Amino acid sequence: MSNGFSTVELAERKAIVTGGASGIGKATAIAMAGAGADVVVTDIDEDGGAQVAADIGGSFAMLDVSDPSAWDRVVSTAGPFDIAFLNAGISTNQGLPRTEGDPISALTDDAYRRIMSINLDGVVYGARAVLPGMTERGSGDIIATASMAGLFPISLDPVYGLTKHGVVGFVRSLGNYFESTDGAPDICVSALCPAFTDTNIIGEELRAVLDTFEVEIMPVDHVAGVVMRMLAERKPGSQWAVEPGHEPYVFEWPATKTLGQDQE
């Protein structure tokens, strides 16, 4: 499969990437800059994010995606943005098998609130922050990183699955709004749904488990290439399922099928 980095021209477009200090965010920031975009790399890892920004000729902004005031600050000082890659995310237990008991009974309030605030709130706050600028200009692209766990069950980490299903539902619904509403600006909202990828979310113990079952871990460049295709092909409300060594499978929901509207 081609990495897809050359399939779209992003000159004169400004992009924000969350979780850009490493992993999929870093690879995608590099790809976007290579296509001509002015990229603002954001992360809570100041040193890592600033280095990525310096390497690609972009800029860095400290951003805790779970903090709406931080979003307001970044967008007011570094925006508006033509592209928002809402990529930051965490897991609760790195998908590791439990030695005893179910995966929910021992879940702490703090762990639950933390993953919800980053994986779900971070996407909603991000979309809310960038949409006014996109609306004013009449166009834009929002891509949120979900996961294959947003499309299928993940029994080892149900709360991670909850957040990623939430991202998919949010994208499908918001994308449907812009696609099906008369007079709405040309804003494409879509979801990236990768399988296991070589990021910090996968610790050494999980790597060992995946290796035992001969589960391939994707390189981040493969996933970043799909993000570039998403920007080129612009399929509103879609979910792009990404697996190692394969073309992505794109799930699309017809814009005419919307709850609350009469159906034929």
Select from 244, 74, 44, 85 the least CA-distant residue to 171.
85
User: Would you give the DSSP letter of residue 14?
Assistant: E
d(Cα 128, Cα 74) in Å, to the nearest integer?
13
d(Cα 194, Cα 241) in Å, to the nearest integer?
6
d(Cα 101, Cα 224) in Å, to the nearest integer?
37
Phi and psi dihedrals of 213, rounded to 5? -95, 10
The DSSP code sequence of 154-193 is -TT-HHHHHHHHHHHHHHHHHHHHHHHSTT--EEEEEEEE
Residue 28 identity: T
Strand 59-62 to strand 83-86: parallel, antiparallel, or no bridges (unpaired)? unpaired
Contact (Cβ atoms closer than 8 angstroms) between residue 168 and residue 239: yes
Contact (Cβ atoms closer than 8 angstroms) between residue 229 and residue 167: no
Residues 6+ apart with CB under 8 A from 72: 129
- Given phi > 0 = left and psi -120 to 50 = alpha, else beta, which region is 162? alpha
> What is the set of active-site residues?
160
Contact (Cβ atoms closer than 8 angstroms) between residue 89 and residue 191: no
